[in-house]
Chain A
Amino acid sequence: MSDTLGNGHHGPTATWQNLRLRAALLQRVRTFFEQRGFLEVETPILSDDTVVDRHLDPFFTEVPGRPGNAPRRLWLQTSPEFAMKRLLAAGGEAIYQIARVFRREEEGSLHNPEFTMVEWYRTEEGLDAGMQRTAELCEVLLERGPAERISYAEAFERHVGVDPHTAEVAQLNEVLQRCGVAPPETLSPDDRDARLDLLLVERVQPHLGVGRPVLLYDYPASQAALARVRPQEPPVAERFELYVSGIELANGYHELLDPEELRRRNAAANALRRRDGKQPLPEQSRLLAAMQAGLPPAVGVSLGFDRVVMLAAAAKGLAEVMAFPFARA
């Protein structure tokens, strides 16, 4: 305990050793992108726009509007995605950002409501190149060897014996029961994705990236978020995630370019939010305007930096690598 910075609740939860490691890894991230010709950018933390996702709950603050107008509501970014894509639409080709992002009610050993995200975009590249660069960065930061690529369908077939793209709810319920996973009693009977999430978290994810890192790719089309969907049978979302030691570290998209499709997804996400008893989020955004003006094809990836530090430090939770986690913020 001699390496901790202080006692009592005013002191940090990380050791100096881990804070030094954190700084060194941050440096490595910058060097990695600089060597590959990426430009470091900064975009607003407070924005009129926010990602519309069924399961992401942003913080907001309000400032007085012009006389006679409603207050201006500003969202704390859940990721710098919208602003960075607006930079792509304005001619950015290879950009990265080390951003503070904020998500309500996400607190646990692997979650802190405020965290550091490394996000990057590269135009004219697709899923394959995106995965390649993600694996390279992972190797530079964690040195766990070359990543293995496993499709979402292969992983489900291997670890829970079901086809995640075609299985109906009834079949997923049987699989959950066979695997000894009890779903929340309040789970809505038609929510396929929540059942896939449960299987992923409980029975698939723990096997991913044990030994070599794993890139999980080609997600169900219903979980496309802001990725494009590849029309095949069954259609898949051109999306991937990086796993190390069973922990999800990064998420990448071959980016959706079609503004009409984004409108539809925003409306669908808000319909589900209302059904879940959550507040709907603004469907109009400057990103939509940028997409209408024309977004170049690109791959975008975000990496949870705190989790990377945690794994590099062989720590058990994020608090060990953050000076002041939420409970002490």
Chain B
Amino acid sequence: MASYSTSDFRKGLKVQMDGDPYLMIECNFVKPGKGQALYKCKLRNLIRNTVIDRTYKSGDSIEAADIQEINAQYLYRQGDQFVFMDNESYEQYELAREQVDDGWRYLKEGMVCSMLLFNGSPIGVTPPNHVVLKVEYCEPGAKGNTATNVTKPCKVETDTEFDCPSFVEIGDLIRIDTRTGQYIERVKE
């Protein structure tokens, strides 16, 4: 298995420790003038999403992780399993609810997501940054109120609710930022 030594360390490196894949999100070189060179790194566990701090000395190395990023189309949900298909190989992958994380709130059939494979198995999926969802139910808003600072919960086609301005109505299409879960705007068909 390939490995990276400290001179290869940089942000964005994908490595493997104790069987888990990690993304190097920070790497700072520190060295007392006459002393040991150290690399202070922050690494995000790509499965658990936890961040750990590790300090390495020059010459240390970490095993490289076999991580692949593919475009996968969401097909359907079966109980707690979400089924995707690799757009190139047509291979199908099933992800459990906890692997999909908050992503389930945005998944519509046919949506193309970015999927991470670790040693060939899916470990996570990221929906596009912006998705358009149809409002299925909400309380009627006050007529003529165009203020965006007054919000109400709106239930959408993916069976979840988002806070939207009070002028949003049943049947509207709304654009949501999947990174924050925030309403952006109403869109026309």
Contacts and interface: CB of A to CB of B under 8 A. Distances in A.
B29 A111 contact: yes
Interface string A136-156: 000000000000000000000
B38 A198 contact: yes
A183 B53 CA distance: 11
B17 to A, nearest CB: 10
Given A184-B55, A186-B60, A187-B57, A248 B37 contact: no
A286 B31 CA distance: 28
A271 interface: no
B55 A194 contact: no
Interface string B1-45: 000001100000000000000000000111111111110000000
Given A184-B55, A184-B57, A194-B57, A108 B35 contact: no
Interface in A185-212: 186-187, 193-194, 196-198, 200-201, 205
A186 B28 contact: no
Top 10 A-B pairs, shortest CB-CB distance: A108-B29, A197-B35, A184-B57, A194-B36, A197-B36, A251-B33, A197-B32, A225-B34, A184-B56, A201-B30
Contact of B35 (A187, A193, A276): A193
A248 B29 contact: no
Interface of A: 53, 55, 105-111, 181-184, 186-187, 193-194, 196-198, 200-201, 205, 223, 225, 241, 248, 251, 276-278
Contacts of A183: 55
23 contacts: A55-B31, A105-B7, A106-B29, A108-B30, A111-B29, A111-B31, A182-B54, A184-B38, A184-B54, A184-B60, A186-B57, A187-B57, A193-B35, A196-B35, A197-B38, A198-B55, A201-B31, A201-B38, A205-B32, A223-B34, A223-B35, A241-B33, A251-B33
Given A184-B60, A186-B57, A194-B57, A105 B32 contact: no
Interface string B82-98: 00000000000000000
Nearest to A226: B34
Contacts of A277: 59
A55 B38 contact: no
A88 B31 CA distance: 30
A106 B54 contact: no
Interface string B57-82: 11110000000000000000000000
B45 to A, nearest CB: 16
A222 to B, nearest CB: 11
A198 B40 CA distance: 11
Nearest to A227: B34
A248 B32 contact: yes
A109 B55 CA distance: 17
Nearest to A186: B60
A130 B134 CA distance: 74
Contacts of A109: 28-29
A251 B32 CA distance: 10
A251 B136 CA distance: 70
